[in-house]
Amino acid sequence: MQKSLSITASTVDPGLLALPWSTPLAKWPSQTIVSLPKGLSRHLVRFADLSGRVVAVKETTEEMARREYEMLGNLARLAVPCVERVAVIAGRADASGAPLPAALVTTHLRFSMPYRALFTQVLRPDTATRLVDALALLLVRLHNVGFFWGDVSLSNALFRRDAGAFAAYLVDAETGELHESGLTDGQRLHDLDVARTNIAGEIMDLAAGGRLEHGVDAVAIADGIVSSYHSLWAALTAHESFAAGETWRITERVEKLNALGFDIGEMSIQTTADGTRVQIQPKVVDAGHHQRRLIRLTGLDVEENQARRLLNDLDEFRARSTKDWVDEEMYAHEWLTRVFEPVVRAIPYDLRAKLEPAEVFHQVLEHRWYLSQAQGRSVALAEVLTSYIDQVLRHRRDEATIMGPPTETMSLPVITGMINLDDDADAVDWRDLV
């Protein structure tokens, strides 16, 4: 007797029933498949159109699919950057009744890329370093909530541009474990060692294919995640001791964490028996300090570094304003309607898939600074926009619409479209533009 199809879904989408679940994933028809850049995956992964959005479909065992589905839900509730779960499809069978693997369905992450899609010719060392730094921050955030990854690598993450840096998102939680009591040092160091080994292998693979800039040390790049991780982890968790009269050190510690993009939910403060010294240690640390402030003031939901950059511009706008308002929200509303939104609306419609609005605004600010420095004057925003659109934006690839040749195993869901995947100024040197 043929087993009935079982669908467990986070949201009700009738389009799930229309996908060809009775066909092996490798043989899904072209009208269903979305062709994307090739990535690395231990399972067969293909990308499909589901009710007008792109989803990733991964064939695996039912047990593993359900486990990863639950894990992604838990990580989302903990506000960890990861792909969004959609459904688990079990009870699949072909036309003859032969069983087919279960499938995990996740949604795509707009404007995100696998690390291999950031270039087609040569990966520059500064780009590799920024990717590794982003992965280190993601690993710190995961460990901070008690998540043991088990298979940390560039291939198991997606990357979005973040005001000159990158933001990393977990894309494969299959090997992960969530420990409510937190991780041991051994578990954290094991993840870090796996990360270093995998990254070194991935970079060496690029070098073997002639896709790494000559003279770049793959091991040194991989070692970067170790130093970056330890520096971040110490800033978040280290004990600090100081004289009782130096209580300003508490504020300094909080401000340092805020600068790194973290908020302290709780601080452990202890004094010695004689009251001469004080010890402090952050106990609950949440990422997204600047993101939360920007959302509260403007409603804009962007990456952390983008939020930091937009807030800096908002603060400068407030300092220049002749208004004498008490509420910060009033300045934020005026900045949003008079500065941010006009810049976003000025981008031609056919260029709006190039970058996220917040990233465009960040790059416009960068472009204005370099133009002003080169010309020795304050360049008007309208002039800056014209220059940026014509000299920079038109020559970028569409990062919301990346599409490559069909492949059997891929690791990144993105929206359809055809573009050139050259490494087009992944870190634009603005001084070359003026």
154 falls in which pLDDT band (50, 70, 90)?
Answer: very high
What letters, b where the CB count within 10 A reaches 16 and e where it falls short, cover 210-238? Answer: ebbeeebebeebbebbbebbeebbebbee
Q: Phi and psi of 106, rounded to 5°?
A: -125, 155
pLDDT at residue 2 tops 80: no
Residues 236-275 pLDDT 10s:
888 888 888 887 888 888 888 888 888 887 788 888 888 7
pLDDT at position 395 is 81
pLDDT at position 340 is 92
User: Which pair of tokens denotes residue 246?
Assistant: 């130096």
> Which residues lie below 8 Å from residue 304, measured CB to CB, with a gap of 6+?
162, 167, 261, 287, 288, 289, 290, 291
**Where does 145-184 have alpha helices with state H?**
none
* Helix, strand, coil distribution of the chain in percent, nearest 5: 45, 20, 40
Alpha-carbon gap, residue 76 to 66, rounded angstroms: 15
Q: Does the fold of domain 113-237 match that of domain 6-110?
A: no
Q: Distance between alpha carbon 331 and the CA centroid of its chain, in Å?
A: 29
Nearest to 344 by CA among 373, 365, 324, 323: 365
Nearest to 58 by CA among 79, 37, 44: 44
Alpha-carbon gap, residue 153 to 203, rounded angstroms: 11
pLDDT at residue 172 tops 50: yes
**Where does 155-282 have alpha helices with state H?**
185-208, 218-237, 248-259
* Average pLDDT over every residue of 91-112: 91
pLDDT at residue 111 tops 50: yes
Which among 123-127, 163-167, 212-216 has the top mean pLDDT? 163-167
Q: What percent of the chain has pLDDT over 90?
A: 41
* Average pLDDT over every residue of 398-404: 53
pLDDT at position 185 is 95
Tokens 């050259």 correspond to: 422
The CATH class that applies to domain 113-237 reads mainly alpha
> Which residues lie below 8 Å from residue 199, measured CB to CB, with a gap of 6+?
132, 135, 153, 154, 221, 222, 225
Alpha-carbon gap, residue 118 to 199, rounded angstroms: 16
Q: What percent of the chain has pLDDT over 70?
A: 88
| Domain residue extents for the chain | 6-110, 113-237, 240-287, 310-354+356-395
Residues 176-202 pLDDT 10s:
999 988 999 999 999 999 999 999 999
Residues 417-428 pLDDT 10s:
322 333 333 333
Of 32-41, 43-52, 69-78, 322-331, the one with minimum mean pLDDT is 32-41
Question: What CATH number is given for 6-110 in this structure?
Answer: 3.30.200
Residues 278-307 pLDDT 10s:
887 887 778 888 888 999 999 898 899 899
* Average pLDDT over every residue of 202-216: 79
Tokens 């100024």 correspond to: 425
User: Which pair of tokens denotes residue 346?
Assistant: 């000025």
